[in-house]
Amino acid sequence: MNEQSIFIVRCGEVALKGMNKPYFERMLVERIKKNVKQFAGVDVRRHEGLIYVRADKSIDREQLLKQIGKVFGVASISPAVEAPSNLDAIGEEAVKYMLDLIETKGIKTFKVEAKRADKNFPVKSPEIGRIIGAKVLIGCKVLKVDVHNPDVHLFVDVRHDKSYIYQQKIAGFGGLPLGTNGKGMVLLSGGIDSPVAAWMMAKRGMLIEAVHFHSYPYTSQRAQEKVEDLARIVASYCGNFKMHVINLLPIQEQIVQNCPEEETTILVRRFMMRIAEKIAEKNGGMMLITGENLGQVASQTAEALVVTDACVKMPVMRPLIAMDKVDIMDKAEEIGTFETSIQPYEDCCTVFLPKHPSTKPKLDRIIESESKLDVDQLVEAAVASEEIVQIRQN
């Protein structure tokens, strides 16, 4: 075997970017480098449409694979071995590779699939597969060919100077590299939905920052720590970011004292959006991101969402809007936020919750209720009192 571990990283959707493809590939390489910088002796380079990660064999392979797989834009990863691009050398490495699998996995059948990326190579792909298959049969007497249901699907990728042998294509998350699609401000709570929404927008290449609202002392310090824990999990995919923390209690108290009870939820939500927009404008955000899901609660009916959006000029992204709750929970489990999200700590949205919240608010009536408040002053005071927490990936 080679002295280094080699991983072939495929770009997926990035490969469809036409004239912009080199830019996206460079961004992807930089993101992979950032995610694996904790490991010493790792080299990341792109060549001929693929990205190659080379690492010292002393590095924990599974941990390295995990970190590469978290990078948005990575479609799949293949641990591979390398050989010079001639059939004898490829065959020799293929035999060594299969002997190792016989010893460690007890495999008995295989199938070879060859790809000739270098069209100047004198032997065509089907013939490469037959030749390498024959060499494996000679070198590994216990193996048989099974083209329908083999224990190992052996891939041979022949390129100009080097060729690669592998059996796995480990799926990544796909998407686009972070930083290729602007920045958004996510309204991050301690629930299940908003961390997933942040993750999904980051998967499309968007950098994120977060704003979190609390109602201290009605909400506890531990509730905020829970949100910080969630943010760090998100940061393990999205990189470090700022979380702007706002105490919403003064605004909630003004609403409860001056406005109809049934409108409390929608009025509080509109203030959240205004504050988030102000913070986004100051920090280079292009849009707001929420975890709202159509019809899930009173503030997420179609009518309520329209009224909510009317108070801001920025576009509001709701990546979960049409997902079933079960699907959102499954995604939260997949990315590792679910167990933290279900910890039973209070949220600012549960403070002063009306018994019968309005599910079909009218914009003119909401504006009339807000006229009893000094909206601009309340928003400016909230923004001025923000605390900033630096979220760093684990």
CATH of the domain at 245: 3.40.50.620
The CA distance from 257 to 306, in Å, is: 25
d(CA 203, CA 197): 10
As a residue count, the chain comes to 394
322 and 288 within one domain: yes
Question: If we measure between CA atoms, which residue out of 346, 357, 316 comes closest to residue 217?
Answer: 346
From first CA to last CA, the distance across the chain in angstroms is 33
Q: Is residue 340 located within the same domain as residue 193?
A: yes
Q: Is residue 178 part of a domain?
A: no
Query: 161 with 218, same domain?
Result: no
Out of 136, 171, 206, a domain closes at 171
Regarding whether 194 and 151 lie in a shared domain, the answer is: no
Same domain, 198 and 160: no
- The answer to whether residue 107 sits within a structural domain is yes
Which of 77, 32, 55 is closest to 177 using CA atoms?
32
Binding-site residues from annotation for ATP: 187-188, 212-213, 269, 291, 300
> Hey, what are 352's tokens?
């002063």
Asked whether residue 18 is domain-assigned, the answer is: yes
Do 84 and 125 meet the contact criterion of CB atoms below 8 Å apart? no
Residue 217 preceded by cis peptide, ω within 30: yes
Pairing type for strands 162-166 and 76-84 reads antiparallel
Query: Which of 105, 136, 171 marks a domain boundary?
Result: 171
CA distances from 376 to 274, 278, 302, 370, 383 (A): 9, 11, 26, 11, 11
Which residues are registered as beta bridge partners of 386?
A: none
| Annotated binding-site positions | 187-188, 212-213, 269, 291, 300
Instruction: Give the separation between CA 16 and CA 3, rounded to whole angstroms.
Output: 34
Q: Could you identify the residue written with the tokens 């009870």? A: 261
Same domain for 94 and 229, yes or no, is: no
Q: What is the pLDDT of residue 30?
A: 94
Same domain membership, residue 214 and residue 166: no
CB 167 within 8 A of CB 153: yes
Write down the pLDDT at residue 19: 74
The whole-angstrom separation of Cα 383 and Cα 118 is 58
* Number of domains making up the chain: 2
- 187 with 162, same domain: the answer is no
- For the chain, 394 residues long, the average pLDDT of each consecutive 10-residue run is 80 73 89 92 88 93 94 95 96 97 96 94 96 97 96 95 94 93 96 97 97 89 92 95 96 95 95 98 97 90 96 98 96 97 76 80 96 97 96 84
Task: Report in angstroms the alpha-carbon separations of 191 from 221, 267, 338, 350.
Answer: 16, 20, 9, 12
Residue 176 lies in a domain: no
Structural domain boundaries, residue 235: 183-391
Rounded distance between C-alpha atoms, residue 304 and residue 308, angstroms: 6
Are 159 and 200 found together in one domain? no
Looking at residue 20, its pLDDT comes to: 80
Please tell me whether residues 155 and 204 are part of one structural domain: no
- Are 210 and 347 within one domain? yes
The per-residue pLDDT for 87 is 96
122: burial class by Cβ within 10 Å (0-12, 13-18, 19+)? exposed
- Lookup: tokens for 113: 């699939």
- Contact in structure between 362 and 243 (CB atoms under 8 Å): no
Residue type for position 180 = T
Measured from the Cβ of residue 264, the count of other Cβ atoms closer than 10 Å reads 21
CA dist 185 and 281 (Å) reads 9
Which pTM value belongs to this model?
Answer: 0.90
- Angle at the Cα of 336 (from 335 to 339), degrees rounded to 5? 140
Residues 149, 225 within the same domain = no
Amino acid at 284: G
In a domain, residue 177? The reply is no
Burial state string for 94-120 with b = 16 or more CB within 10 A and e = fewer than 16: bbbbbeebbeeeebeebbbbbebbbee
Residue 130: give its domain's CATH number.
3.30.2130.30
Phi first, then psi, for residue 277 (nearest 5°) are -65, -45
Q: Is the separation of the CB atoms in 209 and 241 below 8 Å? A: yes
